[in-house]
Structure 1
Amino acid sequence: MDLTKIKNPAFLKKLSTEELEVLAAEIRQFLIRKLSVTGGHLGANLGVVELTLALHKHFSSPTDKLLFDVGHQSYIHKILTGRTDRFDTLRQYKGLCGFPKMVESEHDVWEAGHSSTSLSAAMGMAIARDMKQEDYSVVPIIGDGALTGGMALEALNHIGHEKKNLTVILNDNEMSIAGNVGALHNALGRMRSAGKYNRVKDELELLLKKIPAVGGKIAQTAERVKDSMKYFMVPGMLFEEFGFTYFGPVDGHDFKDLEEHITYAKKTKGPVLVHVITQKGKGYQPAETDQKDKWHGVGPYKIESGEKIKPADAAPAWSQVVSDTLEREVSREDRLAVITPAMILGSKLDKFQEHYPDRLHDVGIAEQHAVTLSAGMATQGMKPFLAIYSTFLQRAYDQLVHDVCRQNLNVAFGIDRAGLVGADGETHQGVFDIAFLRHLPNMTIMMPKDENECQHMVHTALTYDDGPIALRFPRGNGLGVEMDADLHPLPIGKWEVLKEGTDGVILTFGTTIEMALEASQMLKKQGLNIEVVNARFIKPLDEPLLHDRMNKHIPIVTVEEAVLKGGFGSSVLEFAEEHGYKPQIKRMGLPDRYIEHGNVKELLAEVQLTKEQLVLEMKALLTASNDKQKRA
C-alpha cells in the first residue's frame, strides 16, 4: 500500500486480519527507513503498530477521542491520519511535530510531551461529553511507566469513583525511557504472568453452573468463589479495586486478540482498562534486543547494523560531565545520594548506577516525589543531588516552593536540557526554569560556560551547605575544553570578566557566551570596546560588579537563552531600580510565546537571538547613550 495515499483511518474498518498484518509490516519498514535519516522515537512506535491500527479500526476518530499519553508513540496515528508525506520533515524546523499537534490534524485531540496526563484529560472529556449529552468513546492510551506519575493515580481514583464510560488502554512494554521501578511495575509483572483473567473467570462461572444444587452451601458460596478467583489468578487486581473492569493481558501484536478485547471493552459500561502487552522496538532487531532502551529516542543510524551516526571526536555530553564529576565526588562526599525520576540513561547515570548502586535512587516518573524525597534526605544531613530535566522540573513547582526553599534545605539540582533543546519542541524546551526558580527565597542558580567550569560547579553544589542550589546545563555536547585535574568551589555570586571593555558591557552566561564574544569582536572592528562578563551566577547577582558598571553609566545588554519575562535580565533591571540607577539596559532573550521544534540555530535566528542582532542592540544603546549625554 502507498502510505502517502492514506488520508483517513476509516478504511481500516474494511481490512481483514491478513491485510492488517501486511499494513503493519509496511508501516514498520517505513518508520525504520525514515527515522534512520531524521531520528526520532523509534522503539516506542515500533511497539504500538498493531495496537494503533486496531484502535483506529474499532473506534472512529476524531468523533471518538484517542489520547496518546506523552505523545511520542503517535507516529502510526499520524500516518493513518494523512501525514505520511511529511515524515521527511519530522522534528525539523517548520516540519512535522514529533508529538500530537492540534494544528496538524483534527485527529490530534490532546497534546502531550510529558507523561501521566492522558487519564485526567480523558476524564475531563468524558464529563464534558455527558454534560452535553453527546455519544462518543474516550480512549486514553497510557504506558506502564506513566502510571508511576501521581497525576495518573489521582485520575484513576476519580475515574473509578465517577463510573464514567471510559476505555483506558494500558500499553505495557515493561519499560519507559528507562527500566520501570516500584510496586506498580511489580504488580503489572504478576498480571502478565497470570494469563487471561476474564477468560478464566468466565470458564469458572460456566463450571459452577454445571454443578447440581446439592445443598445450600455450594449455592451460597459459588459467587464468593467466583469473585475471589480474581485475586488468585491476578494478585491484587489493582485496577478492579479502583473500580475498573479489567481485560487482559492482551497480546498487543495479535490482531485477533486485540479485536476480541476491544470489542468486549466497547460493550462494557463504566470505566474499562485493557491491559495490552507490547514489545518496544518490535520488528527491528537492534531495537528489539535493546536492554537499556537506547532506541527510545535516536538520532540518524545505519539501518543494516543499527550503528548510530555521530560526528567523530565529539566533545563529551554535558550530562556525561556532570555524571563523571559525581563519580569523582563519591569518595570525598559520603553524604552524597543521586536521585533521578526515571532518567538514568538520559542523564548519563548508567555508569554511576553500575559503580555505586546504593548511592542512586530512581523513583520512576514521579518528579514531585523526587523533589520532596530529596528534601527529606536533606533534613537528615544527606547531600541529595537531583538529576532532572528543566522541562520536567516544572512539574514539581509546589515541592520546590513548599518543601525545599521554604525550609532552606541543602538540595542540589542538576538541571539538564536547560535552554532550547530543538527537535522535541515546545513541550521540552528548558526555557522557564530561571523565571520560576529565581524568585524563590534561598535559591542559588548557576550555569557554566564550558565543561571545565561545569565540573567545578558540580563540586560547588556539593560543598554548598547554605540552602538549595541549582546547576543548569544545556543539551548536547560540550566545547571540548581542557579539564582541570583538581576541583575547587566557585565563590557564590562572583562573575567572571572574559573580555575587558569600557564602552559597554554584555552580561550573559552558558550557551550565549560564544555569541557575546563574537559580537564583541565584531564591534571592536568598528572601533567599540565592549566588555563581556560571564554572569555564571544567575542568582545571587554579582552586586559589586553591577554597582561599578552602573556607576560608570555605560550601556548594558543582558543575553539569555531563556524567557525574558522574569528572567536574568529582569533581575538586573530590578537591581537598578532598587538602588536608584537609571542605566541604558537592553534585554535579549526568548519572547513571550512557546518555541516550536527545529534546529537550535534556526530557532535562535527566528527569535533574533544572534550575534548580529546583539551588535545592532549594543550600537543602538550606545547611540542613545551618546544622545542623552549631549542633551545633558
Structure 2
Amino acid sequence: MKENLLSDITTPYDLRKLTPDQLPQVANELRNFIIDVVSQKGGHLGASLGVVELTVALHYVFNTPDDLLVWDVGHQAYGHKILTERRTNFHTNREKNGISGFPKRSESIYDTFGVGHSSTSISAALGMAIASNLKGDTTKQHIAVIGDASIASGMAFEGLNHAGVTNANLLVILNDNAIGIDPSVGALKDYLTAVKDGKNPKQNNIIKSLNFDYTGPIDGHDLPKLISELQRLQKIKGPKFLHVITTKGKGLQLAEEDQVKYHAPGKFEAKTGKIHKKNEDNLPPKFQDVFGHTLVELAKENPKIIGITPAMPTGSSMKFMMEAFPERAFDVGIAEQHAVTLAAGMATQGMVVFCNIYSTFLQRAYDQVIHDVALQDLPVIFCLDRAGLVGEDGATHHGVYDIAFLSCIPNMIIAAPCNEVELRNIMFTAQNGLEHPIAIRYPRGRGEMVNWQQPFENITIGEIKQLKKGSKVAILSTGTIENNVTKALTQIENKELFSHYHFPFIKPINKSAIEEIENNHDSIITIEDGCLIGGFGTIIAKNITTRKITNLGIPDEFIEHATVEEQQQFCGLDVNSLIKFFSSY
C-alpha cells in the first residue's frame, strides 16, 4: 500500500480514483494533516476533526463541484479545503493574503456558499436545488451539512419547513456531535440525544413529520457505512435527511475530552495535543472577562439582573454568571432573535437584562432590536463583544457595523468605553435605573490596564472627556481606538497642535460640546474602529457647520482575514499610520 495517499490528492477527482478500502488511510492522513498544521498555526480544530470521514465520503460519492456542497459554519470545512485544491497552501489558513478559515465563493469553485455565521446551509442549498429544477437539471445533487447546535436556530427550521413541501433534490446531513462552540442546549438537543440513545420511538420523528426521507442515526466515523448510505440516498429524489453521529475533536484524545477548549485551542503539540502555555501573569484582562466578572459583581448586589447569551457562554464569559447565578443566566442556543425578544419580555417585568451578543451576530436580530426593544423603549442592556476588527476570522466576524446600524434607531443609547474601568462603570450606570435601551460595544482581546477592578462610579450619559489640549486640531475618538491615538500623539513632534477628546457615548451626542470644540479649533479629525459610512464620524459631521473635518475608520469594503494589527494598518488606524497622518499637519 502506498505510504502517503493524501499527497497525490489535489481535487476530489483524484480521491475518486481510489478504492473504498484505501479511504480509511486517506481519512487518517487527512486528520493528521489538519492536526499538524493547526498545531503550528492555530485556528479551529475540533469541528473539522469530527467530520473527517464524512468529508472524505461526501467528496468520494458526490460529483463535486458539479454537485453542490454547502457547509454550515466554516469551522467544519478544513478537511474540505484540503481535498479541494488547497492542501499545498493550507498552512496560510487565516493569514493575510492566505486562504480563509471559512468557505468562500471567491476562493474556490468547491466553496458553493460563503459561511461564517450559522444555520444558513439548508436555505442556501434549497435555493440552489429549486434553481436547478427551474433550469431543468434534475440530476444535480444539493447537500447541506449542518451541526446540531446550528439546526436549533430558527432559520434552519424555516428552511426545513419550506423544503418539506418541495420536490427539491436536497440532502440535509445533521452532523450531530452535541456541541457547537459550547455544549448544545434546549429541547431539540434532548430530543436528538433520545434518538441517539434509542429512547425515542421512530413514529415520533420531527424530521419525518416535515416530509423528509429520514435515515439514521448512523456512525459518522464508519466510512463504509457512510459511503453506502450516501450512495443509496443519491438515488432518492426529493428532500432527504441523514442523521450522522460524530465526535468533535475525533482522533486527538485531549480534544475529545475537552471539546470547548479545543474548538480553537491556539498552538499545541501535534502528537499529544498539549496546548502550549502562555505566560499571562500580570497581563491586562480580556474585555470579555471584564464583562463577565463585572456582571457577577453587579448581580450580587442587584437581584433583578439577568444574563442572556445566544450559544456563547465561554466566548462572552457569561459562564461566570451561569456558575454564580445559574437560575438568572440563560444560554438560549444559536438563536439571536429569540435572545433579544426574550430580553425584551423580561424587561417588561422590571428585570435588568444584560444581553451579551457578539457585534457581528447582533446583525441577525436587527428587527427584534428595533421592533421589540427600541420601539417599546425597553431598557435592555446589549453588551456587544468583538466590536471593531477581530483579526483572523475575517470579514464574516468583524463587528464594524454596529454604530451605523444602531445609531439610526430612536431611543437607543450607544456607548463605547475606552478601557476596562470605563466598561465597568458604564455597566454599573446602565443597571442603575436606565430608562432606555443601551448598546455597549467593546473589542476582542485584552485591554491595557492591569489594575482594572476599581470601585464603581456613575457616568453621565452623553459626557465627553478631554484627554489632551492643543491649539489647532481636535481629534475626536470613541472606544478603545483611543489607545492608538494617545500612543501616536506622544510620538509626534507637533503634538502641541492637537486636542484629543474621547466620546464614551456615540448616542446621544452632546451637540453643545461639539459646537464648542468646533469653535476652538481650525479642523477636526474623527477616528473610530467602525465603518465610515453612517458611523461615528458621520454623526459628528452632521453637527459640524463650517470647519474642515476628516473621518478615519473602516473603509467601504469588507476587510479580509489577517491579524488585527495588519487590518488596522490597512485601514490606517494603527499607531504608525496615525503618527504619519498627524505629522502631516
TM range (shorter): over 0.9
One-letter amino acid of the structure 1 residue matched with residue 163 of structure 2: I
Q: CA deviation at 1:352?
A: 2.0
Larger Rg: 1
Q: Which structure has more helix as a fraction of its residues?
A: 1
Preserved CA contact (<8 Å) 1:299 1:309? no
User: What letter is aligned with 2:567?
Assistant: L
Q: Contact 2:285–2:450 (CA<8 Å) still a contact in 1?
A: no
Offset of 1:238 from its aligned partner? 0.3
Distance 1:121 1:344 in 2: 28
Letter in 2 for 1:181: V
Partner of residue 147, structure 1? 151
Q: Distance in 2 between matches of 1:514 and 1:85?
A: 39
Bigger drift between 177-186 and 315-324 goes to 177-186
Following the alignment from structure 1 to structure 2, what is the Cα–Cα distance between the partners of residues 605 and 318? 22
SS in 1 for 2:109: coil
**1:298 match:** 265
Who is 2:97 aligned against?
94
Q: Which residue of 2 aligns with 1:63?
A: 66
| Candidates 119, 123, 134, aligned match of 2:122 | 119
1:138 maps to a residue whose letter is: H
Q: Which letter does structure 1 place at the counterpart of 2:360?
A: T
Contact 2:307 2:318 in 1 (8 A): no
Give the secondary structure class of the aligned counterpart of 2:388.
coil
CA contact 1:190–1:235 (8 Å) conserved in 2:
no
What TM-score do you get using the length of structure 1 for normalisation? 0.89
Counterpart in the other structure of 2:231: 263
| Alpha-carbon distance between aligned partners in 1 of 2:276 and 2:13, rounded to the nearest angstrom | 37
Please show how residues 278-297 of structure 1 align to structure 2 within 5 Å.
Answer: 278-290=246-258, 293-297=260-264
Question: Aligned to 2:165, what secondary structure does the other structure show?
Answer: helix
Distance between the aligned counterparts of 2:525 and 2:577, measured in 1?
11
Instruction: Give the whole-Å Cα distance in 2 for the aligned partners of 1:329 and 1:566.
Output: 33
1:512 aligns with 2:481: yes
Residue in structure 1 matched with residue 188 of structure 2 by the alignment: 184
Letter in 1 for 2:494: Q
Report the AA paired with residue 102 of structure 2.
F
The residue aligned with 1:251 is 219
Deviates more, 1:101-110 or 1:301-310: 301-310
In the alignment, the residues of structure 1 paired with residue 176 and residue 208 of structure 2 have an alpha-carbon distance, to the nearest angstrom, of 17
- Taking the aligned partners of 1:404 and 1:601, their CA distance within structure 2 comes to 35
1:423 aligns to 2:392 (yes or no): yes
Q: Is the counterpart of residue 133 in structure 1 residue 136 in structure 2?
A: yes
Q: CA deviation at 1:615?
A: 4.6
Distance 1:428 1:489 in 2: 32
Residues 26 and 585 (structure 1 numbering): CA distance in 2 closer, same or farther, change over 3 Å?
same
Partner SS state of residue 346, structure 1: helix
Aligned to 1:582: 546
2:78 aligned partner: 75
Q: CA deviation at 1:263?
A: 2.0
* Number of aligned positions between the proteins: 579
Query: Residues of 1 paired with 2:201 and 2:579: CA distance?
Result: 71
Match for residue 322 of structure 1?
A: 291
Asked if 1:526 corresponds to 2:494, the answer is: yes
Instruction: Find the counterpart in structure 2 of residue 110 from structure 1.
Output: 113
Query: Which one of 572, 593, 602 corresponds to residue 566 of structure 2?
Result: 602
**Kept in 1: contact 2:253–2:273 (CA 8 A):** no
- Residues 277-426 of structure 1: pairs in structure 2 closer than 5 A: 277-290=245-258, 293-303=260-270, 304-313=272-281, 314-426=283-395
Deviation at 1:617, TM superposition (A): 4.5
Where do 1:531-546 residues align within 5 Å? Answer: 531-546=499-514
Aligned-pair distance for 1:481?
Answer: 3.6
Segments of 5+ residues of structure 1 without an aligned counterpart are: 196-231, 623-632
Measured on the aligned residues, the alpha-carbon RMSD in Å equals 1.6
Counterpart-to-counterpart distance in 2, 1:389 and 1:424: 13
* Aligned-pair CA distance for 1:613: 4.0
- The yes-or-no answer on 1:557 pairing with 2:557 is no
**CA distance in 2: counterparts of 1:555 and 1:116, whole angstroms:** 47
What SS does structure 2 have at the residue aligned with 1:99?
Answer: coil
| Unpaired stretches in structure 2, ≥5 consecutive residues | none
Cα offset for 1:4?
Answer: 4.5
Contact in 2 for aligned 1:181/1:363 (Cα 8 Å): yes
CA separation of 1:551 and 1:480: change in aligned 2, threshold 3 A? closer
CA distance in 2, matches of 1:34, 1:408: 50
Dislocated runs of 4+, deviation >6 Å? none
Contact 1:378 1:410 in 2 (8 A): yes
Q: 2:162 aligns with which of 137, 152, 158?
A: 158
Matched-pair contact (CA < 8 Å) for 1:300–1:308 = yes
Identity fraction in percent: 44
C-alpha deviation, 1:284, in angstroms: 0.3
Asked if residue 25 in structure 1 is aligned to residue 33 in structure 2, the reply is no
Q: Give, as a single letter, the amino acid of the residue that structure 1 aligns with 2:547.
A: P
**How much does 1:153 deviate?**
0.4
Contact 2:265 2:275 in 1 (8 A): no
CA change 1:612–1:42 in 2 (3 A) is closer
Task: Report the residue type matching 2:169 in the other structure.
Answer: N
Once residues 31 and 578 of structure 2 are traced to their aligned partners in structure 1, the CA distance between those partners, rounded to angstroms, is 46
Q: CA deviation at 1:309?
A: 4.0
Change (3 A) 1:478 1:611: closer
Q: Distance in 2 between matches of 1:94 and 1:336?
A: 45
